[in-house]
Amino acid sequence: MVASKTDDSQVADGPGVGALMADPVLPLSLMNRDRFLALFYDPERFDIHAKTVMHLHVLRIDGGDFAIKPLFKELVNNSISYVLSRQNLGKLTSDLSRMGEFFRKAQIQFKAPDPNAGEGGELLLYSFLEGHLGAPKILSKMELKTSAEHYVHGTDGVHLLEATPGDYQLIFGESKMYGDVAGSVGSSARRGVKAAFASMGKVKEDDFDFDTWLVESELLKESLDDDKVELLASILLPPASGAPAITKSNAFGVFIGFELDVTTYPFADHTAVEIETYLRDLALAAIAAEVDTIKAEIQDRGLGGYQFHIYAVPFLKRNVNGTVRGIEDIRIDLASELSGKNLRPPKDKAKK
């Protein structure tokens, strides 16, 4: 395993490879990938196996905290292209006077905040797979929901990566955002890894059937010319005899949100540079400690034949105005931002 900060945008299985293709079968739907990635410091890369790469992305730090509000703002922007099919996204970009209509259409697809809110993690996974890896989404599962209060079952997204010309990966997404178990500081990263691999093991056990069927049934909702639709279908379905050689393998995209407990760290005794160094080193140590867990999960679940693109992001558990707030609070706050539904009790206004 190697951790490095090298620019690997030209590596065949590294970030950005999908975006380098001159004429991709699917364009990226994320409208501003650079602005999203600029929220983070340069990522740390872990080459865990020949086919397993993990990137640790740490949000920029200001005032001893990660830049959560800018992240929320950008994820609200990304939610539009995440929810809408390319067909509907094309309608929006061709007629900006309908911006409010389509923003509302996207917003109402998100569930009201609850302790199990997971759609924020799914949106982060989408943003990394498109923004960093360059793997465009195939399926707008959010548009399939019959009610905002229901989840669409299956994986947390389906993306397509052209690793090399004619060699494609159909990427099935899984996202987890967990806090520490009570009384067990530092347990959140392992919880997230284990839960994600349990879900991916189930997807493999089911032979990827449900999500592959959804992808095939939703093809015509994307704004593609006939040649692109035919090419996409040939990637997903066995090609006819004599067709150009195309290879497709199933892969996994994983997002792990984990918690760093800094409730006892003496922020007041340290400079801004010292705080930044401490938090980044703490995040690196926490996720590096789970490399062996990832290896064991892949081995024990018989997943060694698949490619894994893993993204990890830490969030702080810290003291805020006399209370302790952690990743569970961040999940609910993000769900509020995305859905426009704030279910937290209103704050009492101080009497003048």
120 domain-assigned: yes
Q: What is the mean pLDDT of residues 63-72?
A: 96
pTM for the predicted model, two decimal places: 0.88
The residue ranking higher by pLDDT, 150 or 169, is: 169
- All residues at 6 or more sequence positions from 78 whose CB lies less than 8 Å from its CB, including other chains: 30, 31, 36, 123, 126, 127
The span from the CA of 312 to the CA of 226, in Å, is 38
Residue at 345 is within a domain: no
Is residue 182 included in any domain, yes or no? yes
Neighbours of 181 (CB within 10 A): 12
Higher pLDDT, 73 or 5: 73
Residue 195 lies in a domain: yes
Long-range contacts (CB closer than 8 Å, 24 or more residues apart) made by 343-350: 343/112, 343/113, 343/114, 344/113
Of 12, 25, 20, 8, residue with least CA distance to 160: 25
**Total of domains in the chain:** 1
Confidence of residue 111 (pLDDT cuts 50, 70, 90): confident
With tokens 């926490």, the residue in question is 286
Is residue 50 in some structural domain? yes
The DSSP line for 24-76 is -SS----S-HHHHHTTBPPPEEEEEETTEEEEE--B-EETTEE-HHHHHHHHH
Q: For 306-321, write each residue's pLDDT tens digit.
A: 999 999 999 999 999 9
Within a domain: 350: no
Q: Is residue 352 part of a domain?
A: no
Whether residue 347 lies inside any domain: the answer is no
- How high does pLDDT run on average in the chain? 85
pLDDT of 339 over the 80 cut: yes
Domain of residue 194 covers 3-339
